[in-house]
Amino acid sequence: MEEILSSKAEERRVIFEEAAGVLKYKTRKRKAESKLTETQDNLNRVHDILHELEGQVEPLKIQSSLAKEFLAKKDELEQIEVALTVFEIEELYEKWEKLSQELEKHNEMEQEMAGQLHDREAHLKKLRDSLATLETSINGLQEILLNASEELEKLEGRKEVLKERKKCRPKQVTAGKSDC
């Protein structure tokens, strides 16, 4: 009792409330009020965040639609690029095939011409060999002709000499005189 009388009014009230069993409920009330204030603060923060996010919803919708449109266009571009690449590959393959066929034809023509050239060179060699043989024959014949011409000249000369002698002989026999 002495403690109750010597304490201040605040402290006495706490003692009486404790004795009456009210302190426990007041403590709970304070905790509940504190939680309620904390919850209200959280709710205010949520409202602020929602208000801030509501302002961002429209730009985000626009960005989202732009992103979707971009992805659609990107897919379309990829498909077009793939189709273009396939077309270019097919076109290059066709050109390659044509060039391969032309190369094969040119190789065949080259082999054919090489064969013809070989045949013509062989024929030319035969002609040159024949020409060399003919030239050798001509040289031999010219030498024979030269010898024959020289022999003919000698014989012609002898013939002339003999003619002259013959002219002189019959006169000698008939006339008895010699002019030769």
Q: For residues 46 and 56, which has the higher predicted lDDT (pLDDT)?
A: 46
Using CA atoms, how far apart are residues 149 and 142, in angstroms rounded to an integer?
10
Residue appearing with tokens 């009456």 = 20
pLDDT in tens, 52-106: 888 888 888 999 999 999 999 999 999 999 999 999 999 999 999 999 999 999 9
Which residue in this structure is represented by tokens 């449109």?
69
pLDDT tens string 103-155: 999 999 999 999 999 999 999 999 999 999 999 999 999 999 999 999 999 99
In terms of Cα–Cα distance, which of 38, 16, 36 is closest to 28? Answer: 36
CA–CA dist 163, 121 (Å, integer): 59
Q: Tokens 């069993």 map to which residue?
A: 21
